[in-house]
Amino acid sequence: MSSTRGGDQLPLPLPFTRRQEAERIARRTGQVVSRVVQVVLRWALRLVLPLVCAAAALRAFPYEATVQGVPFEVRGTLLSRPGLSADTTLGSWEFPEVSGVPFGVHISPVDVDVLQLTRLAGGDLPGFVERMQADFTAQLPRIATWLIAEFLLGLVSGLLIAAAINMSVRYLRGLPRRPHELRYRSLQAAGAAAVTVTVAGYGVLSYNPNWVRDSQLTGTLAAAQLFPSELSAYYSQSNKALDVLGSVVGIQAALQAQIEDDQTPETALQIMTISDMHLSANYPLVARYAANYDVDLIVNAGDESAFGTRQELTPAYLEAVAALTETAPMLWVAGNHDSPATVEVMRSVPGVTVLGDKVATADGYAVTAGVVDAYGLTVAGLSDPRVYGGPGRYGADAADVVEPLQREAVREALGVLEDEEIPASEEIVLDEAPADGALGGDDPLVGDGSAVLDGIDAETGEPADALETIDVFAVHEPVAAEEVREVLPGRVRQTISGHVHAQNDSSEVQDEDGVIDLVEGSTGAGGLDNIVRGTGRPPIEFSIVSVATDCQFTRVIRFSIESTQPVLVAPPTADSPRDFGDDVTASTVYFRPQDIDPDRLCSTGLGISEERPWPLPE
């Protein structure tokens, strides 16, 4: 019996060929990708357009206020330039760490009558500042309402535009109108509102109550931190621009003084950190900075020369170093461009104390650590084990060679075995006594600076703890500083390094445990090193750290001067006041207090001890 009728035959399910299978997979993949792209584009439109419209509304409609007779504009920003800032034609004062939300508020004067401002400020700048603060604070609710309202208006406008575009695309594609369109759009608006509330909540949770302590100055306001003597001459000229400069800088100084008076203990000494001079002629400039800031101690993280030869350090160059150390003594460690000959020359410069040593060996170089007591602080240092042009890995630049060498040098110099740490309970033996006689012979140093013999305090006869803290540890390579912190956990309060010709970011200066890490830029702006490497000149960078009478590090001011223009070393003319300081940035970071002995005392009257080697017990 036939299985078909009328001669028809049912098609048999034959398997696909490889080509047909590939085409089928390609079609399905294309459909999936097309669907994903459509969804992503729709949601990108729904998210990006409201944000763009909100940012545009904030920018287009600033709040106009008058504070003590001075007209101001208050403008919000979204996604760009977060934080709070005050802008003037003389530079800006920025506070970037207000919260984790990328939202900013920026205040700038409008059509300021400089003579009126000068009269308003008068001779009582602190009083004028207090009145401005009170007047501005009274207007804060209205300013906040204005900014929030235009932000929400921008979001709603963006959502409406996104919905209109979406419906227009559906119409052009001939798609039918969806049922319950209004409810669908309402749900989208509710989702946007929920996201806005979530972001606002995150802003509240991430709010930094100490935002006022971390700031950045640019332009003439930053230059005012560097050149007070020049500004004194600057003010003496009769010019309207100079009048307003005096007022604005005075207002800024009064506000800064309020911050410091309210939250910062008395300063006992100032430490300047420099690095990577590379034979540049910047020492006279550094000396001026040191004098302007009453710097008491300079820590130099090395790379004094370019090729490590004795002849590079000319008499004129060394005279410039000696002129600086007449202002403030210098603690110096050798960098990878500094040979043993460079170390020997630097030891001969009056006022320079070389921490540790670098000597040639059969296959390279060996380095040791050194330590001094400086004004109540314990400062240690370790030179870089490399020398430019040295043999094998001692002259290498490749990171995979340099990093293990740096870590190995730190461990060998500190007497630490591989993967071993030195806990705070172990002793560190120091050979020589400091100049004031606080230590004796081979006695280990305890945290408060008193002498002990076999764990017994020399004065009281009671058991004493071994050295608990190194206040400052200077090295040349940042990776060496990292290794120091790892092998001496809880023992080092601050590390200072250089080498990379760029300061580390302000957010990286102090970690969650309170340890401070300063990576200094090239104070010599690269010098000959940049010619050798064929790279552009980096900024001239250095920092000034304030130390309180209780030995707490309180703040650091980090300066950066663009080296593409000549550095200003003479007073500017009255005809070009805006050119003064345009290439200067000054960032201030206030440190969180560290856990140290409450009875400690730091003072320049304590002096600086002789450098002594730092062997560890077997």
How many C-beta atoms lie closer than 10 Å to residue 428's C-beta?
Answer: 23
pLDDT at 144 exceeding the cut of 60: yes
Can you tell me whether residue 458 is helix, strand or coil?
coil
Mean pLDDT of 23-35: 80
Name the token pair of 512.
């969650």
pLDDT of residue 52: 86
pLDDT at 569 exceeding the cut of 50: no
Q: Maximum Cα–Cα distance for the chain, whole Å?
A: 122
pLDDT-based confidence at residue 105 (cuts at 50, 70, 90)? confident
CA distance 596 to 550: 9
pLDDT of residue 113: 53
Range of 192-201, 593-602, 608-617 with top mean pLDDT: 593-602
pLDDT at 420 exceeding the cut of 80: no
pLDDT at 182 exceeding the cut of 90: no
User: Where does the chain hold its CATH 3.60.21.10 domain(s)?
Assistant: 266-424+468-552+591-613
pLDDT-based confidence at residue 368 (cuts at 50, 70, 90)? very high
- Model pTM score: 0.70
pLDDT-based confidence at residue 284 (cuts at 50, 70, 90)? confident
Name the token pair of 558.
């980090």
pLDDT-based confidence at residue 576 (cuts at 50, 70, 90)? very low
Q: Give the CATH class of 266-424+468-552+591-613.
A: alpha beta
pLDDT of residue 255: 58
Pick the range with the lowest mean pLDDT from 55-59, 376-380, 532-536, 606-610. Answer: 532-536
Range of 57-61, 121-125, 501-505 with top mean pLDDT: 501-505
% pLDDT > 90, the chain: 30
Between vectors from CA 503 to CA 570 and to CA 343, what angle results, nearest 5°?
85
pLDDT of residue 317: 92
Q: Is 521 or 199 the better-scoring residue by pLDDT?
A: 521
C-alpha dihedral sign at 43, 48, 51, 57: negative
pLDDT at 474 exceeding the cut of 70: yes
pLDDT at 440 exceeding the cut of 60: no
Between vectors from CA 290 to CA 287 and to CA 295, what angle results, nearest 5°?
145
Residue appearing with tokens 């004194």: 232
Mean pLDDT of 202-208: 82
Pick the range with the lowest mean pLDDT from 328-337, 411-420, 489-498. Answer: 411-420
pLDDT at 248 exceeding the cut of 90: no
CA distance 181 to 593: 58
Pick the range with the lowest mean pLDDT from 79-83, 270-274, 275-279, 338-342. Answer: 79-83
Asked whether the beta carbons of 214 and 589 are under 8 A apart, the reply is yes
Name the token pair of 32.
């999936």
The CA R_g of the chain, rounded to the nearest whole Å, is 32
Mean pLDDT of 480-502: 94
Q: Which residues of 553-579 are buried (b: 16+ CB within 10 A; e: fewer)?
A: bbbbbbbbbebeeeebeebbeeeebee
Mean pLDDT of 305-334: 92
Q: Looking at this protein, which amino acid is placed at residue 518?
A: L
CA distance 243 to 511: 42
- HSE-CB of 398 using CA atoms within 13 angstroms: 4
Q: Looking at this protein, which amino acid is placed at residue 220?
A: T
The 3-state secondary structure of 385-402, one letter per residue: CCCCCCCHHHHCCCHHHH
